[in-house]
């Protein structure tokens, strides 16, 4: 019996090629999008759960209140973990890791020519490979770090520096504050893509302690904030409440800070729940599943709509089968099996599509997902669930409608205007277009907001400014470097500042009105060329004879006036930080020194005198304004040559300020590109659906069209007649989608301090696209029916 | 075999109520070959649909093989129908996507006959209808007469007690039409009860008895000799 069903389903598929194609590809595209997003979400939520003790490992996170601002700290001092373990017996074991904050120069002494700058050097306690579940390909987890200056390489690094040789026992040089040689004691599998701990090289904290710079990171002997990620292994996950209370208690006894509160982040949560760095993933995780559901729904609705429309052609078959003894149940089963077949074909096609477009998708999201993850049981189960869900939904409505046909009516050809599901199909079409229109509106708003970001006047002249990171390897030469760059013919001006523009700032505490009142203000250290080079504007310029640079003075921005409780024109006023007094010598107009997502906050600018070597220890950033119409490659080449004069080893690196500015919106950029594609997909799906539906509806009215033509109807009037009904649905869908899209985008825009207003034309444009698409689609069929010879259509009845 | 008493069927639209069957009472005995005749709109097809349990009456009683079926649910009717009744239509009503063999096989599938048995029975009946050589063709590839023979083959493959034929020769030329009537007569002689709706006096002469309907009522019964 099932064979019979599959046979007839296949023959129908082949006979109705166009509609089968529309049906299958529509569903396949929807499924492909759904699969991609499913894999992405599954990957994001699976972070760190591959560790065998994942649910027993927790990281303390401290939040401190300083001067009204709550700061969250994820990194702690080197001593902290040990102290916690000694005082808290529920902590079984601990692990401290420190990801070295900048690239290191790595080389194999046997091949002195091959020097590379490498990221992801990880310092960790000796038991790293037994505490976590990273797999060692060679080497023994219990003794790889028995001695200092031993290193475990990732598979990739082993290959890169030692080729096919066995690296165990060999030597590799890693240059941190100075070059150290390490003995390779193990090779580890590359860390999985869903690991929040990343490494190319792992070495022990014992090695770190032997370095000169160690005191910077490991000096503190108490529980405090620092540079280490701390992982505590507990006996039971339920011990967290007690541990958190005890940590708070300990913090109060130590009195380092007044208002410290600890929370404990479970290891698998650390990826999504810590909002350090790029928070874009969390944003996508909220939006994408919703979009995936909408697209799948659209594809399924499309499928159901077309199948039931096609049902009229199958009515006779249903009638004959019923007369031949089929019950409603057997007919329903038949159509279910047919749907299952269609869905399975679509699923396979969808999987192929998903596979083909995966690299693009991951590239846009700047993600890496291991292939092994894509074939892991989790993903396979999810895919299987998706297949079942698709079959269940896709088959439900058509089989219900088709099995309800009355044999008497169908056999006598009285089906007429398909009594089955006209209303439901209208609802389906409206729903499809509502989803499309909604997404188009969202797409337009996102695009406009991004345009606004890129072109907003932020008070900084971002054009033609190149920023070069200057490392502490320059020592005091950073000033000479600046002078050399300045003397190049293509350079208009150059300045030095502690951080690159949009690359961060410090926070400084100033005394408030009372003794306990601390005011936290953003601060930046720069030289006296900074303001001029960036084209910052004065609100209250300093007196003409006033020297900007000096340790007893500072420049503030407008926002800082109120923040620091200063008079409206604060020139000449004093602010105090601890015991140090500073004179306010000038006020700058507000400018965006960070992203437009947040409002401009108060800023103090310390101007460093040239004779004081502020930047030799930490390094700094050189900002150089290039004259317009300069040959960039030549200029950059000259800059590189100068750079190499002072630092041979560190690769020359540069960023243009407007790139850095735009990079702040990469989360939104990615959102916009993905959204764009999703929107096109929904439009195509909705159009396909309408195309199929129009074909059938019009086919059913062939006789009516014939009669009207015989009576003298023009092609235009027939087109109007046939398009009118569909247009009404599309307009209804615009009415439904607009307020929902408005609400969603209103919410999204609320996340930005500087934003566009949603205006009426965005809705009008989306509506226009929908109406135009509908008219073109329906007219194609309407005109085809209209120009047909009425004699043929009338004879066919 | 069949006894209907005071059967009534109405068709209602918003404004008009049409009486299709008006207190009709008919009896058909096992082994009979009955022709139903009458002008268009007299209720012939409605009667046939009710007898075939494709439709239910509004009033009255319908006893089939001693069972009152007038108010059976669709499922029960379908069940009774598939084991007892075969249909032959004017427009053949073959499924275009199935071959001759598969079309004839259909009723056997629905009554759960095992596969090997099905092949045997379908081949037997195709042989009898002399369309064995067309078994792998699709309906569109056959002539009208051949299609109707397939339809009859499908109607009888399940060895039904009753065959309902709705103008079985209506779409055929006279030579093919006569063939079909001969087939029906043969089946009747082997014991199958046949009720046939027809416009053709010629065809009606093959039957034992003609029931003439007018406005949903039986007006005359002619007994053929």
Rounded to whole angstroms, the Cα distance separating A535 from B78 reads: 88
A·B CB contacts under 8 A: 69
Rounded to whole angstroms, the Cα distance separating A163 from B204 reads: 96
Rounded to whole angstroms, the Cα distance separating B110 from B112 reads: 5
Q: Which residue of A has its CA nearest to B80?
A: A325
User: What average pLDDT does this structure show over A147-154?
Assistant: 90
A328 CB neighbours in chain B (<8 A) are 74-75, 78
Burial category of A567 from C-beta neighbours within 10 Å (exposed 0-12, middle 13-18, buried 19 and up): exposed
Q: How many CB atoms lie within 10 A of CB A750?
A: 9
DSSP letters for A328-348: HHHHHHHHHHHHHHHHHHHHH
The residue assigned the tokens 């007219």 is A779
Read off the pLDDT of residues B19-59 as tens digits, 9 standing for 90 and up. Answer: 888 888 999 999 999 999 988 878 888 888 889 887 888 88
Any idea which of A123-127, A181-185, A513-517, A716-720 has the lowest mean pLDDT? A513-517
pLDDT at A22 over 70: yes
pLDDT grade for A792, boundaries at 50, 70 and 90 = low
Cα-based distances in Å from A445 to A668, A672, A741, A773: 12, 10, 10, 21
Contacts of A341 (CB under 8 A, 6+ apart): A6, A9, A10, A13
Q: What is the pLDDT of residue A274?
A: 58
Q: What is the pLDDT of residue A796?
A: 45
User: What average pLDDT does this structure show over A377-389?
Assistant: 90
What is the dihedral sign for C-alpha A260, A264, A270, A275? negative
> For A648-656, which contacts have Cβ atoms below 8 Å and span 24 or more sequence positions?
A649/A105, A649/A115, A649/A175, A649/A473, A650/A105, A650/A117, A650/A471, A650/A473, A651/A117, A652/A468, A653/A468, A653/A469, A654/A466, A654/A467, A654/A468, A655/A466, A655/A467, A655/A500, A656/A464, A656/A465, A656/A466, A656/A467
B136 CB neighbours in chain A (<8 A) are none
Q: How many CB atoms lie within 10 A of CB A350?
A: 28
CB contact (8 A) between residue A321 and residue B110: yes
CB contact (8 A) between residue A325 and residue B52: no
CB contact (8 A) between residue A325 and residue B83: yes
pLDDT at A147 over 60: yes
What would the two tokens of residue B56 be?
Answer: 């239910």
The residue assigned the tokens 């800082």 is A560
CB contact (8 A) between residue B106 and residue A328: no
CB contact (8 A) between residue A319 and residue B109: no
Rounded to whole angstroms, the Cα distance separating B183 from B192 reads: 12
Pairing type for strands A201-204 and A150-154 reads antiparallel
Read off the pLDDT of residues A686-718 as tens digits, 9 standing for 90 and up. Answer: 888 888 778 777 777 777 777 777 666 777 878
How far away is chain B from the Cα of A408, in angstroms, using its nearest Cα? 6
pLDDT at A3 over 80: no
pLDDT at A417 over 50: no
Please report which helix (H) or strand (E) contains residue A174, including its range. Answer: strand A171-175
Rounded to whole angstroms, the Cα distance separating B176 from B180 reads: 6
> For A259-264, which contacts have Cβ atoms below 8 Å and span 24 or more sequence positions?
A259/A64, A259/A65, A260/A62, A260/A63, A260/A64, A261/A62, A261/A63, A261/A64, A262/A60, A262/A61, A262/A62, A263/A60, A263/A61, A263/A63, A264/A58, A264/A59, A264/A60, A264/A61, A264/A232, A264/A240
HSE at residue A131, side-chain half, CA atoms within 13 A, is 20
CB contact (8 A) between residue B93 and residue A319: yes
Rounded to whole angstroms, the Cα distance separating A432 from A735 reads: 13
CB contact (8 A) between residue A317 and residue B110: no
Residue A12 CA to its chain's centroid (Å): 44
User: What average pLDDT does this structure show over B173-190?
Assistant: 89
pLDDT at A410 over 80: no
Rounded to whole angstroms, the Cα distance separating A464 from A630 reads: 10
Mean pLDDT is highest, among A2-6, A646-650, A709-713, A757-761, for A757-761
Read off the pLDDT of residues A325-355 as tens digits, 9 standing for 90 and up. Answer: 888 888 888 888 888 888 899 999 999 999 8
A414 near B CB under 8 A: no
How far away is chain B from the Cα of A416, in angstroms, using its nearest Cα? 16
B81 near A CB under 8 A: yes
B75 near A CB under 8 A: yes
| 3-class secondary-structure state, position B144 | helix
Q: How many CB atoms lie within 10 A of CB A637?
A: 11
User: What average pLDDT does this structure show over A448-472?
Assistant: 85
A4 near B CB under 8 A: yes
Contacts of A384 (CB under 8 A, 6+ apart): none
Read off the pLDDT of residues A85-118 as tens digits, 9 standing for 90 and up. Answer: 888 888 888 999 988 877 888 888 888 777 788 8
A4 CB neighbours in chain B (<8 A) are 102, 105-106, 109
A412 CB neighbours in chain B (<8 A) are 45
Rounded to whole angstroms, the Cα distance separating A26 from A45 reads: 29
Percent composition of chain A: helix, strand, coil (DSSP 3-state, to 5): 50, 20, 30
Among residues A670, A688, A677, A741, which one has the least CA distance to residue A32? A677
H helix and E strand count, chain A? 25, 24
H helix and E strand count, chain B? 7, 10
pLDDT grade for A655, boundaries at 50, 70 and 90 = confident
Among residues A792, A404, A410, which one has the least CA distance to residue B91? A410
DSSP letters for A253-293: HHTSSSSEEEEEEEGGGHHHH--SS--HHHHHHHHHHHHHH
Tell which wins on pLDDT, A334 or A366: A334
Please provide the distance, in angstroms rounded to a whole number, between the alpha carbons at the two ends of chain B.
Answer: 22
Q: What is the mean pLDDT of chain B?
A: 87
For the complex shown, is ipTM > 0.95? no
pLDDT at A71 over 90: no
B11 CB neighbours in chain A (<8 A) are none
DSSP letters for A421-433: THHHHHHHHHHHH
Please report which helix (H) or strand (E) contains residue A645, including its range. Answer: helix A632-646
How far away is chain A from the Cα of B71, in angstroms, using its nearest Cα? 17
Q: Best residue in B9, B46, B53, B54 to probe A by mutation, most A CBs within 10 Å?
A: B54
pLDDT at B62 over 50: yes
Strands (E), A16-139: 57-66, 69-73, 91-99, 104-108, 111-118, 121-124, 136-138
B19 near A CB under 8 A: no
A319 CB neighbours in chain B (<8 A) are 93
Q: How many CB atoms lie within 10 A of CB A351?
A: 17
Cα-based distances in Å from A612 to A353, A497, A499, A592: 61, 13, 17, 28
CB contact (8 A) between residue B97 and residue A1: no
CB contact (8 A) between residue A320 and residue B93: yes
Any idea which of A71-80, A575-584, B103-112, B158-167 has the lowest mean pLDDT? A71-80
HSE at residue A346, side-chain half, CA atoms within 13 A, is 34
CB contact (8 A) between residue A327 and residue B75: yes
Q: Tell which B residues from 102 to 121 touch A, by Cβ distance under 8 Å.
A: 102, 105-107, 109-111
Mean pLDDT is highest, among A238-247, A589-598, B199-208, for B199-208
Out of B45, B98, B111, the one facing A325 most closely (by C-beta) is B111
DSSP letters for A100-112: -SS-EEEEETTEE
Rounded to whole angstroms, the Cα distance separating B174 from B153 reads: 20
The region, left, alpha or beta by phi > 0 then psi within -120 to 50, assigned to residue A622 is beta
B91 CB neighbours in chain A (<8 A) are 411
User: What average pLDDT does this structure show over A454-475?
Assistant: 83
Contacts of A467 (CB under 8 A, 6+ apart): A500, A501, A503, A621, A622, A623, A624, A654, A655, A656, A657, A660
Q: Which residue of B has its CA nearest to A14?
A: B97
pLDDT at A161 over 90: no
pLDDT at A67 over 80: no
A3 CB neighbours in chain B (<8 A) are none
A322 CB neighbours in chain B (<8 A) are 54, 78
Burial category of B197 from C-beta neighbours within 10 Å (exposed 0-12, middle 13-18, buried 19 and up): buried
Contacts of A499 (CB under 8 A, 6+ apart): A505, A524, A620, A621
Read off the pLDDT of residues B93-117 as tens digits, 9 standing for 90 and up. Answer: 887 778 899 889 888 887 888 989 9
B102 CB neighbours in chain A (<8 A) are 4, 7
Q: What is the pLDDT of residue A413?
A: 54
Q: What is the pLDDT of residue A416?
A: 46
Q: Which residue of A has its CA nearest to B166?
A: A412
Rounded to whole angstroms, the Cα distance separating A510 from A703 reads: 86
Contacts of B139 (CB under 8 A, 6+ apart): B92, B94, B95, B96, B98, B100, B103, B147, B150
A319 near B CB under 8 A: yes
The rounded percent of chain B whose pLDDT value lies above 90 is 31
Out of A1, A328, A408, the one facing B109 most closely (by C-beta) is A1
Burial category of A572 from C-beta neighbours within 10 Å (exposed 0-12, middle 13-18, buried 19 and up): exposed
Out of B45, B54, B97, the one facing A8 most closely (by C-beta) is B97
Q: What is the mean pLDDT of chain A?
A: 83
What would the two tokens of residue A466 be?
Answer: 């190149």
Q: What is the pLDDT of residue A592?
A: 84
A416 near B CB under 8 A: no
Q: What is the pLDDT of residue A784?
A: 81
Q: What is the pLDDT of residue A276?
A: 46
């Amino acid at each position: 019996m099932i064979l019979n069903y599959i046979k007839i389903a296949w023959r129908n598929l082949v006979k109705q090629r166009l509609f089968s194609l529309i049906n299958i590809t529509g569903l396949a595209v929807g499924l492909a999008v759904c699969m991609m997003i499913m894999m992405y979400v599954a990957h994001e939520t699976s972070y760190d759960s591959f560790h065998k003790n994942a649910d027993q490992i927790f990281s303390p996170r401290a939040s401190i209140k300083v001067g009204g601002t709550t700061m969250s700290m994820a990194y702690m001092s080197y001593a902290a973990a040990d102290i916690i373990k000694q005082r808290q017996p529920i902590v079984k074991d601990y692990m401290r890791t420190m990801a070295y904050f900048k690239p290191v120069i790595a080389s194999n002494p046997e091949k002195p020519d091959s020097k590379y700058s490498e990221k992801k050097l990880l310092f960790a306690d000796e038991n790293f490979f037994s505490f976590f579940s990273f797999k060692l390909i060679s080497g023994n987890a219990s003794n790889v770090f028995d001695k200092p200056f031993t290193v475990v390489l990732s598979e990739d690094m082993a290959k890169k520096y030692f080729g096919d040789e066995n690296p165990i026992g060999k030597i590799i040089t890693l240059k941190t504050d100075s070059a150290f040689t390490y003995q390779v004691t193990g090779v580890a599998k590359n860390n999985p893509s869903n690991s929040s701990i990343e490494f190319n090289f792992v070495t022990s904290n014992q090695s770190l302690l032997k370095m000169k710079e160690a005191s910077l990171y490991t000096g503190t002997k108490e529980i405090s904030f620092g540079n280490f990620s701390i992982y505590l292994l507990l006996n039971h996950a339920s011990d967290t409440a007690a541990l958190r209370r005890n940590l708070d208690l300990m913090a109060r006894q130590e009195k380092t800070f007044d208002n410290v509160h600890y929370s404990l982040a479970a290891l698998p949560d650390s990826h999504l729940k810590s909002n350090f760095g790029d928070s874009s993933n969390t944003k996508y995780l909220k939006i994408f599943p919703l979009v995936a559901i909408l697209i799948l729904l659209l594809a399924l609705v499309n499928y159901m709509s077309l199948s039931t429309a096609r049902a009229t052609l199958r009515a006779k078959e249903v009638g004959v089968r019923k007369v031949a003894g089929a019950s409603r149940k057997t007919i329903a089963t038949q159509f279910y099996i047919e749907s299952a077949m269609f869905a399975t074909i679509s699923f396979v096609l969808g999987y192929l599509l998903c596979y083909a477009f995966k690299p693009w998708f991951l590239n846009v999201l700047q993600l890496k997902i291991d292939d092994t993850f894509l074939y892991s049981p989790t993903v396979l189960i999810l895919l299987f669930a998706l297949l079942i869900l698709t079959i269940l939904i896709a088959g439900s409505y058509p089989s219900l409608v088709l099995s309800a046909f009355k044999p008497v009516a169908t056999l006598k050809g009285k089906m007429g205007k398909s009594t089955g599901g006209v209303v439901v199909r209208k609802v389906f079409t409206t729903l499809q277009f509502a989803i499309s229109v909604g997404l188009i509106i969202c797409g337009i708003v996102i695009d406009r907001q991004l345009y606004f970001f890129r072109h907003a006047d932020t008070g900084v002249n971002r054009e033609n400014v190149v920023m070069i990171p200057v490392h502490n390897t320059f020592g005091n030469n950073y000033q000479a470097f600046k002078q050399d760059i300045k003397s190049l013919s293509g350079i208009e001006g150059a300045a030095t500042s502690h951080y690159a523009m949009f690359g961060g700032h410090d926070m400084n505490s100033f005394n408030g009105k009372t003794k306990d009142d601390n005011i936290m203000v953003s601060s930046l250290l720069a030289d006296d060329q900074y303001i001029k080079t960036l084209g910052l504007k004065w609100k209250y310029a300093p007196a003409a004879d006033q020297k900007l640079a000096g340790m007893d003075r500072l420049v503030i921005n407008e926002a800082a006036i109120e923040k620091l409780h200063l008079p409206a024109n604060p020139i000449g006023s004093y602010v105090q930080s601890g015991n140090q007094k500073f004179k306010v010598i000038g006020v700058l107009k507000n400018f965006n020194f960070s992203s437009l997502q947040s409002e401009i906050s108060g800023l103090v600018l310390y101007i460093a005198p040239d004779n004081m070597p502020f930047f030799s220890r930490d390094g700094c950033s050189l900002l150089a304004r290039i004259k317009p119409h300069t040959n960039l490659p030549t200029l950059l080449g000259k800059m590189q040559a100068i750079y190499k004069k002072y630092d041979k080893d560190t690769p020359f690196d540069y960023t243009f300020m407007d790139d850095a500015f735009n990079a702040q919106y990469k989360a939104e950029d990615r959102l916009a590109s993905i959204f764009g594609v999703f929107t096109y997909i929904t439009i195509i799906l909705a159009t396909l659906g309408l195309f199929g539906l129009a074909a059938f509806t019009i086919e059913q009215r062939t006789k009516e069209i014939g009669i009207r033509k015989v009576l003298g109807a023009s092609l235009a009037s027939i087109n109007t007649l046939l398009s009118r009904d569909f247009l009404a649905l599309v307009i209804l869908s615009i009415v439904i989608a607009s307020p929902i899209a408005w609400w969603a985008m209103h919410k999204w825009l609320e996340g930005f301090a500087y934003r566009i207003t949603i205006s009426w034309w965005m809705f009008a444009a989306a509506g226009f696209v929908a109406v135009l698409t509908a008219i073109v689609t329906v007219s194609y069929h309407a005109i085809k029916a209209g120009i047909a010879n009425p004699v043929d259509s009338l004879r066919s009845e | 075999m069949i006894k209907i008493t005071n059967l009534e069927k109405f068709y209602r639209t918003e404004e008009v109520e049409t009486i299709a069957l008006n207190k009709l009472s008919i009896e058909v005995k096992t082994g009979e070959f009955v022709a139903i005749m009458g002008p268009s709109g007299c209720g012939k097809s409605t009667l046939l649909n009710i007898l075939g349990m494709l439709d239910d009456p509004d009033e009255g009683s319908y006893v089939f093989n001693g069972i009152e079926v007038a108010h059976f649910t669709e499922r029960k009717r379908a069940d009774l129908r598939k084991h007892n009744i075969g249909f032959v239509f004017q427009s053949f009503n073959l499924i275009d996507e199935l071959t001759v063999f598969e079309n004839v096989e259909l009723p056997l599938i629905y009554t759960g006959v095992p596969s090997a048995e099905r092949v045997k029975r379908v081949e037997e009946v195709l042989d009898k209808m002399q369309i064995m050589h067309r078994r792998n063709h699709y309906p569109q590839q056959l002539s009208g007469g051949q299609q109707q023979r397939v339809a009859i083959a499908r109607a009888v493959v399940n060895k039904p007690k009753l065959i309902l034929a709705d103008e079985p020769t209506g779409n055929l030329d006279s030579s093919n039409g006569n063939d079909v009537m001969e087939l029906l007569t043969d089946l009747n002689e082997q014991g199958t009860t046949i009720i046939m709706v027809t416009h053709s006096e010629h065809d009606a002469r093959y039957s034992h008895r003609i029931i003439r309907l007018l406005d949903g009522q039986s007006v005359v019964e002619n007994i053929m000799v």
